[in-house]
Each structure stands twice: as structure tokens, then as C-alpha cells.
Amino acid sequence: MNIKQSAPTTVHNPHQPSALEKLVAFLDERMGLKEMQAKMLNEPLPGGSRWAYVFGSVLLFIFAMQALTGMLLMFYYVPTADHAYDSTQYIIHEVDYGWFLLSYHFWGSSAMVVCVFAHMSQVFLWGAYKKPRELLWLVGLALLGIVITFGFTGYLLPWDQRAFWATLVGVEILDKAPLVGDFIARFLKGGATPGQMTLSRFFVLHVMILPAALMALAGLHIFLFRVAAPAGPFKGTVEEIKAKTDYFFPRQIWKDIVGMAFVFVGICVLALWEPVVLLDKATPDPGEYHPEPEWYFLFYFQLLRLKLFAGQFGQFIGAVALPVVFMVLLVALPFMDKDPERNIFKRPIALISWIAIMVVIVLFTVAAVINREFLD
């Protein structure tokens, strides 16, 4: 009796994982990448996706671009009083597209200040600083301070007359602060007048200390945001907001991408339309140059020119007391305002206060620009 033995069947796997898929599987097994991705993309958004939610992503994008352009500039920049000005001029005139790179970095700094201020305004108007988001508000204030300090420290690095005297004005304002003002001013200047020590300290702050602080606080801010969850719109009942809940992907992520693209194009247009042009090399003699700070400090610079703040006591009130009181109020805001009402139209004091601040900033900025034209 012959028994025919059938040939063993070979099972073919229709899909052999690629090297990339194996790597992803390896990392996912050890880091939980897929679970992390699902949590990020499926983040619930009370009230649905909104353009008002793009500020966080846009700010991270601007910072990433500032870090990239800053690193590229560092290949050519020499942070010494003897060579800072010449190396910046070399970037502008000799490096291929160096003028555009420097101009993008310059306008990117301004865009970051504008976006942080807009984001803080939105949080204030929407009442998103209230319980349980008090810590988010405080970390946001710290980030605002770091972004402004970024602009202040970076302004000196080209080492021209505008940078030199704007920094000197800023340091003299800090010098008026009680107790620590003199120490901070002497530490930043490193001498009687801004020089090599000043430039070195501003450079270290700008490229090492401030980026590390910003990344740490941004990470903390994101963590606190995920713990507290989005506040949602200020209008509508809890049931109405929950009924309109959407997820981060796909609608909100596309809004974020559009916001990033809009900001990127806007900065590029500004860099092309108004590229950075240096004044004469920094000297202790201002000559015909009239010292003034960066544009987002112009309103405050003009405010201090009022007769109300004349004299030593007046300068102390304007340069120290007013900003300190304002910052204390901002820090204490979520702890003083315990009313759960978030609708800005039902919070008249908050709405009027915000409008008044905007009016002061706009009017005094315009006055400073007009005053500059007359001086020129």
C-alpha cells in the first residue's frame, strides 16, 4: 500500500515589516509611542476646535525657528566688543542670504512678543486663569518675562549705536529698583559703561540660560495644561460646551498648521520689506542718535517722559513702583478673582481694564513714534 506524503505547505507572510516599522515597534514597546500619540491626537477640546487655540503651537513654532536661525547666525557671529559689529556686518553683506537670516531672527523676536501678549490677553478675556488653572497663569507670566528678556539681551548683540544706547537705557531703569537694582545693573554692565563684560554676559544669557529656562517652563506649561485640560469657550452652559466637544486631530491641528504658516509668511515678508540695517559702531558718545528701546517698550519709554515722573522720586514711581504693582496684581489675579463667571461681557471691570491698558499702550506708542520723527 503506497501512502503518498503531501509536500509541506509553506506559509508566506504577506507583509514583512520594514526596518522603519521594526524600529517603531522597538521604541513603542519601550516608550509607549502609540499610546502617547493617541493621547495627544485625541485630546478633547471643549466647545470644538477654535482659532483662539493656535497661540500655543504658534509660539512653539516661532521659538523653534528662532533657535534654528540663532544657531546658524552663531557660525559667523563673534561675541567680543572688538568683533561683534564687524561680524554682524559680515553676516549682512558677505554671507549668502545672511541679511535675510538676521532679519528673520530680528522680526521673529518681535513676533514672539506679540504672540505671547495676545495669548495672555486671550486667557485673561476668557477667564481661563481661574481655578483650577492658577499655576498655568503663573507659568505663563514667567514665560512672558523670559520672552521680553530674550528681546532685551539679543538687542545688544549687533553692537551698534542703537543696541548700545537702548541697552544702557534699560539697565539704568533696572538700576532704580530698590534693594537689588544696583546689583543687577552692575552685574549686567560689568563696569562703568557697557563693554566686553556686558556683551559676554548678555550673550550667555541669550544663547544658554534663557533658552534652557524657556524650554523648562514651556514643558511645565504643557504638562499643567494637560492636567487641567482646556478651559473651553467662555460662552454657553456646561452641557452646550460638552455637546460641541471635538478632538485635537484633525480640525485643530490643521488650524495650528495654518496659524504657523501665516506667522512664517508674515515674518518673511517683514524680513524682506524691512531688513536689518546697522547704525554706526557702538561708542560711549551718542552723537546725533537719540536713544530709545525696542518698539514694544516705546509706550513705557514715552510714559516715563511725563512730568508726573520727573525728578528722582517721580522716576522711582514710574520706573519701579508702577511695573512692580502691575506685576503683583497679575500674579495675584487668579487668587483674588474667585468668581466662576468667565463670560467677559459679564465681567465689566476686567473688560474695561483690558481696554484701558490697550488704549494706553497704543496712544503712548504712537506718541513715541511721532516724537521720534520730530527729533529726527
pLDDT confidence of residue 236: 65
**Does the structure show a pLDDT above 60 at 127?**
yes
The pLDDT confidence band at residue 376, using thresholds 50, 70 and 90, is low
Domain of residue 121, residue span = 41-286
**Does the structure show a pLDDT above 90 at 259?**
yes
Average pLDDT over residues 336-340: 90
Are 276 and 102 spatial neighbours (Cβ–Cβ below 8 Å)? yes
pLDDT confidence of residue 4: 53
| Per-position DSSP letters for 213-253, written without gaps between them | HHHHHHHHHHHHHHHH-----SSS-HHHHHHT-EEIIIIIH
Question: Does 291 reside within a domain?
Answer: no
Question: Does 341 reside within a domain?
Answer: no
Q: What CATH number is attached to the domain comprising 201?
A: 1.20.810.10
Are 66 and 109 spatial neighbours (Cβ–Cβ below 8 Å)? yes
Question: Does 364 reside within a domain?
Answer: no
Structural domain count of the chain: 1
- Range scoring the smallest mean pLDDT among 129-133, 271-275, 311-315: 311-315
Cα dist from 39 to 44, 256, 259, whole Å: 9, 17, 22
Q: Which residues contact 191 (CB under 8 A, 6 or more apart)?
A: 197, 198
**Does the structure show a pLDDT above 70 at 349?**
yes
Question: Does 63 reside within a domain?
Answer: yes
Question: Does 376 reside within a domain?
Answer: no
- Rounded to two decimals, the pTM is 0.86
Question: Does 332 reside within a domain?
Answer: no
Average pLDDT over residues 123-129: 92
pLDDT confidence of residue 235: 72
Question: Does 267 reside within a domain?
Answer: yes
Q: How far apart are CA 50 and CA 226, in angstroms?
A: 17
Q: DSSP E strands: which ranges in the chain? A: 44-45, 246-247
Residues 46-99 pLDDT 10s: 777 788 889 989 999 999 999 999 999 999 999 999 999 999 999 999 999 999
Question: Does 143 reside within a domain?
Answer: yes
**Does the structure show a pLDDT above 80 at 286?**
no
